[in-house]
């Protein structure tokens, strides 16, 4: 893994490729962090590092802001109105705003507490492969749970029916996304399904829930690693290009997943995760990949 104190070794082509990979995989439950470890390793590029990943996630943050602009504006207005009137929980939209904030606390606390491990030890491809497979099994279990709920005539709940319990469960699950290979959307959608939410609702709240944590992580890493990430004009351009590519591909990824989950299960992602995890273990065993490359 390259030392973050060294100049950031990324050219424009790598920046575009990694930005597209980030955007496409951030919102699908297949782990963007896993793909940002695997793709450079397979292409013989150096690992861009956790700081780079966090910063270009700002592109996917903007994609969420653009796609859900009406929802976010409505929630923001209600949240401010609730504070100014002294009734912060009077409206559903105001409650959603507070739920997003409270549900972000676990990932912030864990991110700061385990920062060193997240940026070093946990980026091992063995960890990535294990997380891909293990959480695929949990996602499959959530689908089975959801099907049994429907057989018991318990219909999945929608965004207007989200409770504090749902948001806290999804917030705690989101902290697992700090482990490369787990997938932020994957763990939160899984938690939402276990909580009784519909697939589309779990995905929508998952995307909204990503806003505070992605913004916090991106700004923190950009500031703390600014000398390494923005050491030269070329570095600045590479980061900007990667972030823009992540924005465009991320917007398309959101639209696709929400449309897909209206009528389909997540089993295709379960199969993909298991297959990719198994492939990584095979490549590691043959020496085609190095766990720490």
Collect all residues with Cβ–Cβ distance below 8 Å to 49 and sequence separation of at least 6. 1, 2, 4, 119
- Over residues 213-229, the pLDDT tens digits come to 888 877 777 777 666 66
The pLDDT value recorded for residue 37 is: 85
- Rounded CA-CA distance 250/62 in Å is 9
The pLDDT value recorded for residue 217 is: 77
Residues (pLDDT < 70) of the chain are: 1-10, 225-231, 293
The pLDDT value recorded for residue 105 is: 94
CA nearest neighbour of 243 among 39, 16, 29: 16
Per-residue CA distances from 250 to 16, 58, 247, 274 (Å): 13, 11, 5, 23
The pLDDT value recorded for residue 5 is: 37
- Over residues 55-88, the pLDDT tens digits come to 888 899 899 999 999 999 999 999 999 999 999 9
Per-residue CA distances from 87 to 5, 38, 75, 137 (Å): 48, 48, 14, 42
Q: With contact defined as beta carbons under 8 Å apart, do 229 and 235 qualify? A: yes
Which of the 8 DSSP states describes residue 46?
Answer: P
């Amino acid at each position: 893994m390259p030392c973050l104190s060294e100049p950031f070794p990324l050219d424009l082509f790598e920046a575009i490729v990694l930005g597209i990979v980030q955007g496409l995989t951030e919102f699908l439950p297949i782990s963007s962090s896993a793909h940002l470890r695997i793709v450079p390793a397979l292409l013989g590029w150096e690992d861009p590092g956790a700081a780079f990943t966090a910063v270009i996630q700002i592109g996917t943050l903007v994609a969420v802001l653009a796609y859900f602009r009406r929802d976010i504006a409505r929630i923001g207005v209600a949240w401010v109105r609730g504070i100014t009137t002294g009734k912060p929980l009077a409206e559903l939209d105001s409650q959603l705003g507070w739920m997003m904030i409270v549900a972000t606390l676990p990932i912030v606390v864990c991110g700061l507490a385990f920062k060193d491990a997240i940026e070093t030890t946990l980026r091992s491809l063995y960890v990535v492969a294990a997380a891909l497979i293990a959480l695929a099994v949990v996602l499959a279990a959530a689908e089975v749970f959801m099907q049994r709920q429907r057989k018991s005539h318990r219909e999945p709940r929608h965004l207007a029916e989200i409770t504090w319990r749902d948001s806290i469960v999804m917030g705690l699950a989101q902290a697992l996304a700090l482990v490369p290979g787990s997938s932020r959307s994957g763990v939160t959608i899984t938690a939402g399904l276990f909580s009784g939410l519909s697939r589309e609702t779990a995905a929508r709240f998952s995307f909204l829930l990503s806003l505070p944590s992605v913004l916090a992580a991106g700004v923190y890493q950009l500031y703390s690693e600014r000398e390494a990430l923005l050491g030269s004009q070329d570095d600045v351009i590479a980061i900007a290009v990667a972030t823009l590519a992540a924005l465009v591909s991320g917007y398309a990824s959101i639209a696709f997943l929400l449309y897909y989950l209206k009528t389909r299960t997540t089993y295709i992602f379960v199969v993909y995760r298991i297959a990719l995890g198994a492939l990584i273990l095979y490549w590691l065993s043959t020496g085609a990949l190095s766990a720490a490359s």
